[in-house]
Amino acid sequence: MPNLINNSIGDSDFVGSLIPQRFPFVMVDKLYSFTETTLVSGFKIKENALFFKNGNFVESGIIEHMAQSVALHTGYQFFLRKEKAPTGYIGSIKEIEIKKLPTLNDEIKTTVNILHEFAGITLVDIVSEINDVEIARGQMKTILAK
């Protein structure tokens, strides 16, 4: 499987086609790297972002960005196999720590590490950064719809 993503795959329209969410609920716009067990995604904070309030991208937006980063990993896996990706759901969120809220034009870069994947259930560690400074981390369990 590819590790480095070519620039055209960083295209926000292509990235948006890999997840089930649609504007204005899209919280990922870049795919930097992918392996079977990792993914690095990005999201630039714009004024029209759904969770942009009072100059900050709020906590619920960061958590949704994390969840969509997991969905992007699944969506890209299915794309590489030339299959339609199923819809997934957040099964649980654990130990989320948000240290700093992004502001306008910040770019969140999030690394997803797959810890376990079995029978459509995926457990991941997630770390989000801005300019190589950690702003959030946590664990999430997602479940694919049958």
Spans of all domains in the chain: 7-144
Q: What is the pTM of this model?
A: 0.90
Residue 116 — left, alpha, or beta (φ > 0 → left; ψ -120 to 50 → alpha)?
A: beta
Model confidence pLDDT, tens digit, residues 52-91: 999 999 999 999 999 999 999 999 999 999 998 888 888 8
What are the phi and psi torsion angles at 98 (to 5°)? -110, 115
Cβ neighbours around 13 below 10 Å, total? 7
Q: What is the pLDDT of residue 8?
A: 46
Specify the CATH class of 7-144 in words.
Answer: alpha beta
Euclidean distance between CA atoms 59 and 5, whole angstroms: 28
Could you give the dihedral angle defined by the CA atoms of residues 104, 106, 107 and 110, in that order, rounded to the nearest 10 degrees? -100
